[in-house]
Amino acid sequence: MPKRARRYVPQSLWVLGWFCLVAAALHWHNPHFWQTAHEGYRKAQAARAAGNLDAAAALMKNVLTQEGDNLGYLLFDAYLKCDLGQLPQAKKRFAQALALVPNHGEALLGMAALHAQAGNCAAAVDNLNRLAVARTDSQARRRMAGIYAQCGDFKAALAILKLLWETPPTEIADLEQLLDMAAAAQDWITIRDLPIDPLLASEDPAVRINAIDTRALALQQLGDAAEAYALYLQAPHAGNLLARAQLAQKLGRYADAAALWSQLLAQDPDRLAWRRAEAFSLLRAGRSTAAEERYRGLLADKVASNGDRVQLAWLLNTEGRYTEAWSILAPLPQPHRSLPILEIQARTAFWAGDMVAAVPLIRALLSRKAEG
């Protein structure tokens, strides 16, 4: 080897050694520094898909160091931060994305979801309002509906869902979502008009019961008590027991109503409204003995209303037990300001032979009727 060449060998070895040390140090601090941004991004995608979120985050840190103004990388990292529960960092990434493209749909949806999750619904809705709904796909619209619902604006959520279909959906999952959102929005007409036959034919009892209960509730709210009651009877269960009792009584099916109120009272014997409803249904069903027992129970517990006293007095009068009936009415103010109560007071006092009470009551009744 020539002498001149031999002089440069130590220098070359020194430079090579220095380069190796620098490379090793860089690798120790950042193992991905020699990867291109795209290579790192593809590996981060694979790591995230495999559930290795920390590895994906480490890869994306290097990716964004190289290309921090790449919209796709920013959005991927934002959702990765969401997966990791690092919501402030995720919000920062979405903000960076929106700084690049102010009305980018994916970035707006992501930011809206974060605001909704934090309870800042005003900011969430502000982001959603910037979206051009007509240009969004079905997945984005579902997400929009979910965010509106999370913020309690069920009518807006329902309106978004309705844009998904030109005609009502037939898929069970879609129908369920639309039905539940309409119920949350209290859009009874939409519920009434939805074709729920696929839900009623479902092999899943929970799906079928939810469809029946939701449609029946809508019919009940729209004033169609008979149809609502008939629908509830297709799937009677504890959850619709109260609705069935109320509708049976409203429809004058007092024997059914009395049995249903009895079932409810077995669960909560002290519920005053249910005790009163059961007594009334028994009375109207012609079960006088049971009705009298229930009304006297209300009197004994000192929770009987004026109406309860009138109903019991009416029952006793029909059985010719006028003295007992008058004893039930006697504690009420005389003459009572309610004309129907005053009328039964006057009649009962007269039938019971208490002329001292009956005469002024009859005069008051005649005077009140003369006044119109």
Token pair 């209290």: residue:
186
> Could you tell me the CA-to-CA distances from 100 to 92, 109, 355 in Å, in that order?
13, 15, 94
Q: Is 191 a member of any domain?
A: no
Q: Is 316 a member of any domain?
A: no
DSSP string, 106-172: HHHHHHHHHHHHTT-HHHHHHHHHTS-GGG--HHHHHHHHHHHHHTT-HHHHHHHHHTT-SS---SH
Q: Is 52 a member of any domain?
A: yes
**CATH number of the domain bearing residue 51:** 1.25.40.10
Burial pattern 134-160, b for ≥16 Cβ within 10 A else e, equals eebeeebbbbbbbbbbbbebbebbbbb
Q: Which pLDDT does position 72 carry in this prediction?
A: 86
Q: How many domains is the chain partitioned into structurally?
A: 1
Q: Which pLDDT does position 103 carry in this prediction?
A: 86
Q: Is 70 a member of any domain?
A: yes
Other C-beta atoms lying within 10 Å of the C-beta of residue 177: 18
Q: Is 331 a member of any domain?
A: no
Q: Is 81 a member of any domain?
A: yes
Q: Which pLDDT does position 134 carry in this prediction?
A: 60
Q: Which pLDDT does position 2 carry in this prediction?
A: 53
Nearest to 161, CA basis, from 177, 184, 185, 183: 177
Q: What is the mean pLDDT of each run of 10 residues along the chain (372 residues)?
A: 50 49 49 67 87 85 84 87 89 90 90 92 91 77 91 92 80 90 95 92 93 96 96 95 97 97 96 97 96 96 95 96 95 92 94 93 90 77
What is the Cα–Cα distance from 107 to 75, expressed in whole angstroms? 7
Domain that residue 64 falls in? 32-101
Q: Is 225 a member of any domain?
A: no
Q: Is 40 a member of any domain?
A: yes
Q: Which pLDDT does position 110 carry in this prediction?
A: 93
